């Protein structure tokens, strides 16, 4: 299995550290759909017992990134077409509402930071950077909403589809299209056009859904 291991044998927050490492590997695709999470192997890699490993796996299950299969144990959860559709449809409802709440509270600093992440996304050469920079752009704008519960749900939803979206961006014209959509959303935020920003956010998510559907249908 591929994940970044750390010697945490004497660390009190061992479960959290293991959770974060495994979560990162799942989101970035180092641990693929259906990959088994062998507790003994993970415990050895982190120089700890199986107890924090079990706790970390439980946290991953709660986020929908891992599922337990009888007689097989914990594996990385696969994303079905139905699940992907549901996640995107949910985001189409939630994220436009969040950006509506955020725009009146956006400061010049927030907009500057968001533009910085947009520019980094546009200039990125490593596909592994796309997902993180995309998240930072959106989360910077959404953060102004002061709706932490909504944002946490959005983050969990993105966790489930992040590795698939990254592949979709690389295999299609998704990078350039996403750049243009990000720029349009930011411009609407900068001009205080709440309705336009919400409309663009909805379209941005819906277009990503369509592209991912095409990729999954093609078996990619």
| pLDDT tens-digit readout, 80-92 | 778 888 999 999 9
- Residue 219, pLDDT score: 53
* CA distances, 190 to each of 104, 108, 111, 145, 181 (Å): 10, 8, 7, 15, 14
Cβ neighbours around 61 below 10 Å, total: 14
pTM: 0.75
Q: How large is the average pLDDT for residues 99-125? A: 94
Closest CA to 134 of 168, 109, 101: 168
**Residue 55 — very low, low, confident or very high, per pLDDT cuts 50/70/90?**
very high
Using the predicted structure, report yes or no on whether residue 107 has a pLDDT greater than 90: yes
Burial (CB count <10 Å: 0-12, 13-18, 19+), residue 154: buried
**Domain map (residue ranges) of the chain:** 14-76, 81-217
Q: Which of 53-62, 95-104, 182-191 has the lowest mean pLDDT?
A: 53-62
pLDDT tens figures, 193-213: 999 999 999 999 998 888 877
CATH class of 14-76: mainly alpha
Interior angle at CA 33, CA 32 and CA 39, nearest 5: 75
Give Cα separations from 64 to 17, 45, 61, 68, 104 (angstroms).
18, 23, 5, 11, 33
Q: How confident is the model at residue 218 (pLDDT cuts 50, 70, 90)?
A: low
The pLDDT tens digits for 137-158 are: 999 999 999 999 999 999 988 8
Q: What gap in Å lies between CA 103 and CA 88, rounded to an integer?
A: 22
Residue 220 in this model has a pLDDT that exceeds 50: no
Distance of CA 65 to the CA centre of its chain: 11
Which of 26-30, 69-73, 122-126, 161-165 shows the highest mean pLDDT? 69-73
Lowest mean pLDDT segment, chosen from 110-119, 166-175, 177-186, 191-200: 166-175
**pLDDT at residue number 167:** 65
The pLDDT of residue 32: 84
CATH superfamily of 81-217: GntR ligand-binding domain-like (1.20.120.530)
State mean pLDDT over 4-26. 76
């Amino acid at each position: 299995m591929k994940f970044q291991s750390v010697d945490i044998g004497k660390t009190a927050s061992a479960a959290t550290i293991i959770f974060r490492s495994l979560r990162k590997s799942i989101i970035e695709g180092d641990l693929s759909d259906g990959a088994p999470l062998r507790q003994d192997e993970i415990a050895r890699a982190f120089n700890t017992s199986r107890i924090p490993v079990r706790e970390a796996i439980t946290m991953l299950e709660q986020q929908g990134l891992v599922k337990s299969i009888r007689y097989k144990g914990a594996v990385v959860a696969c994303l079905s077409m139905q699940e992907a559709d549901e996640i995107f449809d949910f985001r189409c409802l939630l994220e436009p509402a969040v950006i509506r709440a955020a725009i009146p509270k956006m400061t010049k600093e927030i907009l500057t930071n968001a533009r910085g992440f947009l520019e980094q996304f546009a200039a990125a050469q490593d596909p592994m950077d796309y997902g993180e920079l995309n998240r930072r752009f959106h989360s910077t704008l959404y953060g102004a909403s002061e709706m932490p519960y909504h944002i946490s749900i959005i983050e969990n939803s993105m966790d489930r589809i992040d590795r698939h979206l990254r592949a979709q961006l690389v295999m299609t014209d998704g990078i350039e299209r996403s750049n243009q959509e990000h720029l349009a959303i930011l411009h609407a935020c900068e001009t205080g056009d709440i309705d336009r920003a919400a409309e663009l956010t909805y379209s941005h998510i819906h277009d990503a859904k369509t592209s991912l559907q095409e990729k999954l249908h093609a078996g990619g």
